[in-house]
Amino acid sequence: MTDPQSYRPQNIPTEPGVYRFFDGNDQVIYVGKAKNLKNRLNSYFGSNLSPKTHRMVHHAVRVDWTIVKTELEALQLEFTWIKKENPRYNIQFRDDKSYPYLAISLGELFPRMYISRNRNHKITKYFGPYAHGWALRSTFEVAQNTFPIRTCTDVNFQQATKTKRACLLGHIGKCAAPCIGKVTVEEHLEIAKKLVKFLDTNPDEVKKELQTQMIEASQSEEFEKAARLRDQLAALEKSEQTAGTFLSEGFSGDFLAAYEEITHIALTVFMVRSGRIMGSRSWILDRKEILEEEGYLAAALNKIYLESEIPREILINELLSKEAEISLLENYLSEKAGFQVNLIQPQRGDKFELMQTVQRNAHEALVQYLSKRMGDSAVSGEAVSQLAQYLDLSQLPLRIECFDISNTQGTNMVASMVVFEDGRSKKSEYRRFSIDDEKKFDDTRAMNEVITRRFKRYLAAAQENLTEIEEMGGLGVSGAKVSKFAYPPQLIVVDGGQPQVNAAIKALNDLGITDIPIVGLAKRMEEVWLPGSPDPIILPRHSEALYLLQRIRDEAHRFAITFHRSKRSKVMLESALDEIDGLGEIRRKALLEHFGSLAAIKKATELDISKIPGIGEVLAKQIYDGLHNGLHDGLQDSRDKNDDFI
């Protein structure tokens, strides 16, 4: 590695410009722009650098710069050099998947419609990409019904031409059958052009033209042609009803939204033309590859509109609008497009609602990417190794157990234990604990209780396994079964701060266990608390270790809440049914097993209730009246409010 001070430049100008860092092979490894080159470049040679910036400046051996007149010129030059050099330390975009396109081969004598994942042919018109297969299939089917362009391969088309026999689509009207001369070359080309016009522009013009042709055909007594045009018009109108069009037909623009997690960012763009969503695409950014001072909106816009059409309006969500240089980017895009381009954050109305949808799609793209990534053993191994390093553990935490407490103002208290092995969840070993409400535990005493119960089981299981092995003749005997609780974790995580950690460590000490490390993860600042430490540890914000701890803590929280709600629902149901005369324990149990919840019983009719074994019409009326006389509405309301408390 190189000492950055060995190549730190002197007499740096204060004008705007673009700078480049080079490695030992004279390859560009980073390109950046600056309004003031001296201030920006000096910041790279300080002592308080982010991990990635630190790696970059130690990887480089020299830096140069180019002065320009304005910051806009610097932005243009920066994008040009990034495209040309593809520097390793600039933001790298990864497509979350390969999206299909709807293609129409206008360059052929008889154009055809087909689905493709590549855009290799210049004389082929592409529409999309489509994020969902159902959307593409729906569009393809509507296009076939409305504009009977051929969809067969060239081999099948030539075969049909030789045999003078049309395929099934030609017989049922979904293809104009140019292979057997039902339409001429010009007529089939006109069908293809109408389809392109329909997909590319406002369909109202196509509808008017179809309607005019239908009337003309009817007046000239060409009834078969008029009927075919009528069916095309009906299919076109039906497609509009199911296309989800709710923006103005005159609106065209792109919606760009971002969703952030600890380690990655997802960007999703929706392309809207003539009020309709024509396609979408998503990218994933690795935070480790983004320098702290580098905004990703500029890089995203340059990536998206490097070759794509630039609309007059680009709507961005709140996350992206917080970045600076909005006006600078507008000027850059306007100059590139040749007309005024505006970056806007919608605040209300239909555009705001669509932006929420785009952001949800970004979230889904990130969830899918991270789900696949969690199965990567290399990523999981890195997270476990980082955790051992940051917490100064004597061994890798290959098995981690996390505990969480859930309750409603001290009642219906439960706890959960989730297990992660090699950085991945092992749901077969999850456990849940019910805590006696009569003991009036708070969270810390409950944590002590749960840790004590779990590790009493560990000590007992370990002793049982040892006894069984000895009775079977020693450690070499393979017939002994080892209890799951006999395996101790290499790390215990509790949901909470110093009080919860102290309660957990006391429970282990009381049992004589001193070799299992314990940490607490507090939600407020994601602080990691260690036993006996006056101050918490703050893990690097975008580290795999912190992300792993958060996943484990969130999974324990989810598992605890699920059990808590189940327990609370059962208690509330039983307490409500206790007040109904003539309803004993067996009949209450029958109701609970059949309906499952108090809300379901309240929705049932007297006839539905009377069908339960052991409950006749008279008792069914008592149950119905008891649940609908208003006495239990407050109970249900309190349940809904307590959901927010949890």
Buried (b) or exposed (e) across 343-376, using 16+ Cβ within 10 A? bebbeeeebeebbebbbebbbbbbeebbeeebee
Nearest residue to 516 (alpha-carbon basis) of 384, 399, 425 = 399
CA distance 632 to 336: 66
> Which pLDDT score is estimated for 437?
64
Tokens representing 524?
Answer: 């407020």
- Residue 180 confidence (pLDDT): 87
| pLDDT confidence bin for 255, thresholds 50/70/90 | very high
| Mean pLDDT in residue range 569-577 | 56
Nearest to 107 by CA among 192, 181, 174, 198: 192
- pLDDT value of position 211: 83
**Sign of CA pseudo-dihedral 345, 348, 349, 354:** positive
pLDDT at 491: 93
Secondary structure of the chain: what % helix, strand, coil (to 5)? 50, 15, 35
pLDDT of residue 216: 86
Residue with the bigger pLDDT between 613 and 192: it is: 192
Between β-strands 518-522 and 411-421, what pairing exists: parallel, antiparallel or unpaired? unpaired
Q: Considering Cα of 230, then 231, then 237, then 240, what sign does the dihedral take?
A: negative
Averaged pLDDT of the chain: 79
pLDDT for 483: 59
Look at residue 56 and give its three-state secondary structure: helix
Q: What is the pLDDT of residue 281?
A: 81
The sheet carrying 342-344 orders its strands as: 94-95, 276-286, 264-273, 253-260, 313-316, 342-344
pLDDT score of 402 more than 90: yes
Burial of 258 (0-12, 13-18, 19+ CB in 10 A): buried
CB atoms within 10 A of CB 5: 8
pLDDT of residue 21: 93
How many other C-beta atoms lie within 10 A of the C-beta of residue 228? 17
Contact 75, 295 (CB under 8 A): no
* Spatial CA neighbour of 559 closest among 432, 448, 407, 374: 432
Which amino acid is located at 59 in the chain?
H
Alpha helices in 423-536 (DSSP H): 443-471, 498-510
Amino acid identity for residue 466 in this structure: L
Gap between the Cα atoms of 183 and 402, Å rounded:
71
- In this predicted structure, the answer to whether residue 635 has a pLDDT above a threshold of 50 is no
Tell me the C-alpha to C-alpha distance, in Å, between residue 594 and each of 588, 590, 597, 616: 10, 6, 9, 15
Looking at residue 645, what is its pLDDT? 27
pLDDT tens-digit series, residues 589-632: 787 778 766 677 778 888 888 888 878 888 888 888 877 764 44
Q: What is the pLDDT of residue 19?
A: 92
- Tens-place pLDDT, residues 491-505: 999 988 888 999 999
At residue 314, the pLDDT reads 92
Residue 46: the pLDDT is: 85
Q: What six digits make up the tokens of 462?
A: 């370990």
Cis, bond preceding 129 (omega within 30 deg of 0) = yes
Distance CA 545, CA 537 (A): 12
Q: Which of 126-140, 309-323, 334-348, 592-606 has the lowest mean pLDDT?
A: 126-140
pLDDT of the residue at 210:
74
Residue 135: pLDDT band with limits 50, 70, 90: low
State how beta strands 399-408 and 411-421 pair.
antiparallel
| Helix axes 585-595 and 544-578, enclosed angle (nearest 10) | 130
Q: How far apart are CA 212 and CA 229, in angstroms?
A: 10
Q: What is the DSSP letter of 575?
A: H
Separation between Cα atoms, residue 46 and residue 28, nearest integer Å: 21
What gap in Å lies between CA 578 and CA 211, rounded to an integer?
69
More confident residue, 334 or 642: 334
pLDDT over 70 (residue 434): yes
d(CA 46, CA 52): 14
- For position 619, what pLDDT does the model report? 85
Q: Encode pLDDT of 547-558 as tens digits.
A: 888 889 888 888
DSSP state letter for 244:
T
Angle at 90 between CA 85 and CA 92, to 5 degrees: 95
Q: What percent of the chain is modeled with pLDDT above 70? A: 80
pLDDT for residue 493: 92
Give pLDDT, residue 244: 43
Helices (H) and strands (E) in the chain, counts: 22, 19
- Banded model confidence at residue 285, pLDDT cuts 50, 70, 90: confident
Region 92-111 average pLDDT: 76
Confidence of residue 473 (pLDDT cuts 50, 70, 90): low
Max mean pLDDT among 132-141, 388-397, 455-464 falls in 388-397
Q: Return the pLDDT at 260.
A: 85
Cα R_g (the chain), whole angstroms: 33
pLDDT at 633: 41
pLDDT at 496: 85
